Amino acid sequence: MEHIPTYTEQRILCASCGTTIAPNPANLCVNCIRNEVDITEGIPKQGTLHFCKGCERYLQPPNIWVNCALESRELLALCLKKLKGLSKVRLIDAGFVWTEPHSRRIKVKLTIQKEVFASTILQQVFVVEFIVSGQQCEECTRVAAQLTWKAAVQVRQKVPHKRTFLWLEQLILKHNAHKDTTNIKEARDGIDFYYANRSHAIRMVEFLQAITPLRLKTSEQLISTDIHAGTANYKFTYSVELVPICKDDLVCLPMKVARSLSNISPLALCTRVGNSLQLLDFNSLRVGELRGAVFWESPFTSLCDAKELVEFYVIDIQPEGVHNGKYMLATAEVALSNDLNTTWLVRTHLGHILRPGDHVMGYNLVNANFNNTEYDIFSQAAQSRGGLPDVVLVRKAYPNARRKRRTRNWKLQQLAKEEEEGVVKAKSEKAKAELDYEMFLRDLEEDPELRSMVNLYKDAAQSNKVVPIIESENQDDDEMMDEDDEPEEDFPEINMDELLEEMEGMNIQDDEMA
């Protein structure tokens, strides 16, 4: 009789709970292993899917929209790509859990495996819930935009400040040139105006051409066409680029342009920006008017802008008796306000307003190094005529009055603009915008001609709005100035008869930075 041996499976006790189990390298039962190790850790249990209701597509990051039917392989692949941490485990199975279509929820059931101990593999099943969030794709956004605007005017200027646009904004408000806009958006380098009719956009372009030199580019995009009626629907965009020259900028003109402007010196100051650039030769008081068309034939950039102005102290000044009605030529001895050891003798056009003891803002060119071809040509030619000026004086300063805490009895009004989408301004950018606005307000105070071009309104809450003191302009000369110094007698103040009563019902908002 043949003997057939029987095999008895060996059993051990779980090291944690004492349950009888088959031997395994961990000596733990499945429940105890799951209690000690969670292989789903690091895998999100919730996610978000962006869905466009217009074209019924899902967003596949970063910016691809794909068509996916419900419970399709494409949608499942899109959901799995959203889950970080799946690469650290082995995916065994994946499938959808049924949900109501209108619930805006998609559930995916996953089965994964992972080796937790030596030769011990743990398998676990869990569910991930995705929330379907509505988001309009770029194509649908453009289609929707066709119903709100048909023409756009994009105004840009390549300068590191916003003072030109602040002035332009006030002119638009004064002449009500924005009355036909459907929307106004603030861009990084300018402003965008949107219109329902092309004729309104053309009217805005003509208004801008009348007040400032610019270069215009026009583009059109076909939206739809009717071959039976022979008609087409277009969307028009007018790109307006302003000249990159602002008031008080120091420029170096090309020699050909300087000769055409009554043969003025190539090194000149921009004293006014209107429908043309007014350039002043501060050595001879000759003035040249540069039209926008001439500028764009031979474009140039500024050597120094208003943010590079430094403060000088006037030690002595000797008028030369030459004047052109607005300016008077004089020779001034100046020194830096924070360093009186070094002095310079300079010719200036401010002889009619400067007196010994005054302060004046100017450009210090002693150690300046410009990466400008026209300036290099001019400096070589100027060596034979006595060299370049060390200092260029621009405008009178009022440090004593600026140091005093005071309030403004006037304010400006502002266009209702939307900020640029997807851009969050940092604190430094906000501080820079506030500084640009304060400098623009000071320009209005000190320049009656510029002030006459805008509307100023009475401020009923003037006691709550204190004029800020810019630390950078006073921190160098605190030692030589006493807090008890009296404000300058000719400090520009705006009279009440220049202010208007605030008008109601306009599409503008009060500016809180004033």
One digit per residue, the tens of pLDDT, for the chain of length 514 reads 677 777 777 778 887 787 887 777 777 777 787 777 778 888 888 999 999 988 888 998 888 888 888 889 999 999 998 888 888 888 889 999 998 888 889 999 999 888 776 667 778 888 999 999 988 887 777 666 655 688 999 999 998 888 889 999 999 999 999 988 888 998 888 999 999 889 999 999 999 999 999 999 999 988 878 788 888 888 899 999 999 999 999 999 999 999 999 889 999 999 999 889 999 999 999 999 999 989 999 999 999 998 899 999 999 999 998 888 889 999 999 999 988 899 999 999 999 999 999 999 999 998 888 888 999 999 888 877 777 899 999 999 988 887 776 778 888 988 888 876 655 667 788 888 888 898 899 888 888 888 888 999 888 765 456 666 665 444 444 444 455 567 777 787 788 888 888 654 344 444 443 3
How far is the C-alpha of 463 from the C-alpha of 406, rounded, in Å?
A: 9
Q: Please report the pLDDT score of residue 460 as a whole number.
A: 73
Q: Which residues pair with 108 in a beta bridge?
A: 96, 128
How far is the C-alpha of 119 from the C-alpha of 99, rounded, in Å?
A: 38
Token digits for 431?
């501080």
Q: Which residues are CB-contacts of 331 (< 8 A; sequence separation ≥ 6)? A: 317, 318, 320, 345, 346, 347, 348
Q: Please report the pLDDT score of residue 475 as a whole number.
A: 45
Strands (E) across 61-137 are located at 64-66, 90-97, 105-117, 120-134
CB atoms within 10 A of CB 252: 23
Instruction: Name the residue type at position 79.
Output: C
Nearest residue to 168 (alpha-carbon basis) of 155, 181, 151: 155
- For residue 500, give the 3-state DSSP assignment: strand
How far is the C-alpha of 331 from the C-alpha of 351, rounded, in Å?
A: 8
Cβ(364)–Cβ(336) below 8 Å? yes
Q: For the CA atoms of the chain, what is the radius of gyration?
A: 36
Q: Please report the pLDDT score of residue 485 as a whole number.
A: 65
Q: Please report the pLDDT score of residue 102 as a whole number.
A: 85
Cα 382 off chain centre by: 39
pTM for this predicted structure: 0.66
Cβ(303)–Cβ(394) below 8 Å? no
